[in-house]
Amino acid sequence: MKTRRRIPAALAALLDRQGGTATRQQVYDTLGRGALRRLLAEGKWARVTPGTYAACPAPSLEHRLWAGFLIGGPGSALGGWAALHAAGQQVSVPVVDVWSPDRVRREPRPGYAFHSDGLGRLEHTSGSLPRIRLEDALLDLVGAVDLDEWVNLTTSAARERRISLLRLRSSGLGRPRMPRRPLLREVLADLTGIESTLEWRYHCDVERAHGLPPGERQKSLSSGTRSDVVHDAYRLIVELDGLCHTNAVLRDLARDNTHTAQGQSTLRYGSLDVRLRACAVAAQVAQSLQVRAWPGTMRRCPRCPPSAPMS
């Protein structure tokens, strides 16, 4: 507090607007070189990266993000992992990506990546610490992470209403150069109504790989509940459990009992079932559908054991 009282009001206001971060020139203009050297020597301020400083002894991730934006300059915005974090997603930020207006160049430095935008990312920024639209940030990460991680990031953002899957699809397929474009088109078509990587894996490795009829996603069959996969015509529900804790178990039991009383049957599978035993899960789902008058037959996928009976 003593440090903040000694600095000019103009600099204090600037620090408030910039998350406690300032550039060297901003400090020189309001405080002077000697005062900055003393604050650093006394450990009251710290350097975030060459040319930017935090008004505290130990810079945080937020100071790093602000430093990246300040280095990027007017009209710039955070992208990639930094944009996801700034929007409230629970992600680590290995590198602070910063997008600047087209033809603006910034020197690279450790922990930061500066890009010149030529795709209109900067036309849709938001936040007091500007960030590009999350759909654009996610698309920029398509080639940087494995598919399961990307699906997890995307479904989490969609579940929390931070992105529009329709806009994500439109933006991705509209880019002139897009890594994994055919796969991206397929994945985005699959993600409609899907809220987790586990649900996506179930759709791909259990339903589609074995020719099972696709169920409706996240459908409500009783007040205040939603079910992962619903085969309404066959009165069969499939629930997928990624994490387990006491409150969720009690809530799920109450929901399953309500649905059973209504004549619906529930199959429940965990993450290991879907990821390691997809063929066995498919056989059980197929059998359950067939006893409820599904006229189809389960298809053998390339991973099915040769001796496994087909339902």
Whole-number average pLDDT of the chain: 88
pLDDT category of residue 245 using cuts at 50, 70 and 90: very low
Domain boundaries, the chain: 2-59, 65-183, 197-290
CA distances, 287 to each of 48, 257, 301 (Å) = 61, 22, 16
Q: What is the pLDDT averaged over residues 77-106?
A: 93
Q: What is the pLDDT of residue 309?
A: 58
Between residues 180 and 93, the one the model is more confident about: 93
Q: Which SS3 state, helix, strand or coil, does residue 262 take?
A: coil
Selection from 30-44, 175-189, 214-228, 295-309 with the highest mean pLDDT? 30-44
Percent of the chain with pLDDT over 90: 59
Residue with tokens 């910063």: 98
Do the domains at 2-59 and 197-290 have one common CATH topology? no
* Residue 16 pLDDT exceeds 90: yes
Report helix, strand or coil for 34: helix
Query: Residue type for 243, please?
Result: L
**pLDDT at residue 40 tops 90:** yes
> What pTM does this model have?
0.75
Q: Which CATH class is domain 2-59?
A: mainly alpha
Indicate the SS3 state at residue 267: strand
Domain 197-290 CATH assignment equals 3.40.960.10: yes
- Those residues whose C-beta lies under 8 Å from the C-beta of residue 109, and which sit 6 or more positions away, are 49, 50, 71
